Amino acid sequence: MSEQIKLAIFSAILGDKKVRIIDFISQNVDENGFLNTTISELCKTLDISKPTAIATFKMLQNAGVLKRIKNGVYELSQKSQIC
């Protein structure tokens, strides 16, 4: 399945903004699985609302994909990292 088809399916299910946030996270985690950005920085970069970003981060945290370490530092769970 092509990446464009996958993106279209995920966007239809989750919504375009959530998919953009997830893509941002996947593009910006470091080699140790950490994301260093605040919600405000993410909102400014992607031009999205704060409630949308917060809801998406909470969804990912509740699913066990993302863990908040402290303000502006998040860890991608081991099960989410693809080698």
- Angle at the Cα of 45 (from 17 to 14), degrees rounded to 5? 10
Neighbours of 9 (CB within 10 A): 12
pTM for the model stands at 0.81
Instruction: Give the list of residues 6+ apart from residue 46 with CB closer than 8 angstroms, or none.
Output: 17, 20, 21, 24, 53
Asked whether the predicted pLDDT for residue 83 surpasses 50, the reply is no
Residue 2 has pLDDT above 90, yes or no: no
C-alpha to C-alpha distance for 52 and 15, rounded to whole angstroms: 10
Domains and CATH numbers, the chain: 1-76 (1.10.10.10)
Instruction: Give the residue from 4, 82, 78, 83 showing the smallest Cα distance to 34.
Output: 78
pLDDT, mean of residues 2-6: 78
pLDDT tens digits for range 5-43: 877 787 777 778 999 999 999 999 999 999 999 999 999
Task: Write the pLDDT tens digit of every residue in 38-68.
Answer: 999 999 999 999 999 999 999 999 999 999 9
